[in-house]
């Protein structure tokens, strides 16, 4: 999707100085001066069960994100173990499923209606809006104001 957007910017607007980086981005730390809009979602995850469950756990257990439940040292240890396992190991699936069972047993509310999408936008970036489904629907209205 990002490549399509960059191609549209290039062809329609003449914007060619755009860099896309896959993977983890330190949008507000080391790369703070380079990043104008940072969008995150669960929509594009690779289908790796341990990483998917870990991402879910991190969002709901992180105290700095308004966690819904208290982090569990036993679950943390299980995550540490599963991350070192080969994906072909028969015990891998069993351990991921056990982690899921423990997380679900905490009894917190799991939202199943929306994908989690987040936008972080610098204050001088104007025109960024999302629709009801949290899709970015004002692509041609986005601009960087003088600052």
Give the separation between CA 84 and CA 69, rounded to whole angstroms: 25
Average pLDDT, the chain: 77
Three-class SS state of 125: strand
Q: For the whole model, what pTM was predicted?
A: 0.45
Q: How confident is the model over 69-85, as pLDDT tens digits?
A: 667 889 889 999 998 99
Give the phi and the psi of residue 139 in degrees, each rounded to 5: -50, -45
Q: How confident is the model over 31-56, as pLDDT tens digits?
A: 777 778 777 665 555 567 888 788 77
Q: What residue spans define the domains of the chain?
A: 2-43+115-144, 49-104
């Amino acid at each position: 999707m990002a490549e399509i957007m960059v191609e549209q910017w290039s062809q329609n607007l003449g914007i060619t100085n755009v860099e896309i980086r896959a993977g983890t981005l330190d949008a507000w730390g080391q790369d703070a001066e380079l990043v104008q809009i940072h969008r995150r979602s669960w929509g594009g995850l690779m289908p790796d069960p341990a990483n998917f469950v870990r991402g879910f756990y991190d969002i709901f257990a992180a105290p700095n994100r308004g966690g819904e439940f208290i982090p569990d040292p036993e679950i943390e240890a299980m995550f540490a173990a599963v991350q070192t396992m080969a994906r072909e190991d028969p015990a891998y699936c069993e351990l991921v499923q056990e982690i899921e069972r423990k997380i679900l047993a905490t009894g917190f509310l799991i939202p199943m209606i929306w994908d989690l999408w987040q936008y972080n936008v610098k204050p001088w970036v104007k025109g960024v809006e999302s629709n009801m489904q949290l899709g970015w629907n004002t692509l041609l209205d986005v601009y960087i104001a003088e600052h």
